[in-house]
Amino acid sequence: MIDTHCHLLWRLDDGPASPMASVDLARVLVEQGVETALCTPHYSSRFPTQPRSTRARFAELQRSLVGVAVPLRLELAAEVASKLALSVPVEELAARAVGPFVVVELEARATAAAPVLVLDRLRRADLTPILAHPERCRAVRIDPSALDEARRGGALVQVVASSLVGRWGHVVSQAGWDLLESGRADLLASDAHTAGGSVRRLGEIVERVGLRYGREAMEELTVRTPAKVLSLEPAGSY
């Protein structure tokens, strides 16, 4: 699996509290079948993380994983709050992108118009949004078609595994499965913050998706589309 959303870098946001906690999370991801992880520390009003500090922390974690023989390949971007995606200079967004892709958090109170507004603004800067965990967004739960125009314009939709197993309640869980059922999801990611909780069920969740929708669909969500996002050649199936 290629994980396109996780909070591996310690003491930058609400992720791990220490370097060892980051290593522990990385080890769990590998145990769950993850070969490559995109580190996406929050960039929001609550967590105004800066590229310089995230790059330094990222490099330190890479060295630590080599030192303890945890075979997890890392890439770096950010999870940008939708309000900032619509307001900060586009150069700030480009600095937090991976290739042309920017992971944009659709918060619980984001409006139904947010996906298209974000797409339009990023597209003018040759950037493409990955709309993260829309199942948690009330407006999307009321009307999932709010995502359709953005997807037609090239945006990707990313459901996270923790939602599917009830981390945010039954309503959010059902919304996540509904997005998969309707074909509106392009990526399945962990959104892992710590080594405990639902991340330890990640492999099980991926297998459940495969049993429900078929192995081809599961690999599209977890290997092939993520590989395109990160410009990787997938080494193999999950």
User: How would residue 211 be classed by pLDDT, with cut points 50, 70 and 90?
Assistant: very high
Supply the pLDDT for residue 198: 92
Token reading at 44: 């929001």
Amino acid at 183: G
Report the percentage of the chain scoring pLDDT > 70: 98
Model-level pTM? 0.95
Q: What is the CA radius of gyration of the chain?
A: 16
**Res 92: pLDDT:** 97
Is residue 238 predicted with pLDDT exceeding 80?
Answer: no
What digits encode the pLDDT tens for the residues 137-182?
Answer: 999 999 999 999 999 999 999 999 999 999 899 999 999 999 999 9
Cβ 110 vs Cβ 136: under 8 Å? no
Q: With 70 as the cut, is the pLDDT of residue 114 above it? A: yes
pLDDT of residue 65: 98
Residues of the chain with pLDDT > 90: what percent? Answer: 95
Domains observed in the chain? 2-229 (3.20.20.140)
Per-residue pLDDT, averaged over 200-223, amounts to 97
pLDDT, position 142? 96
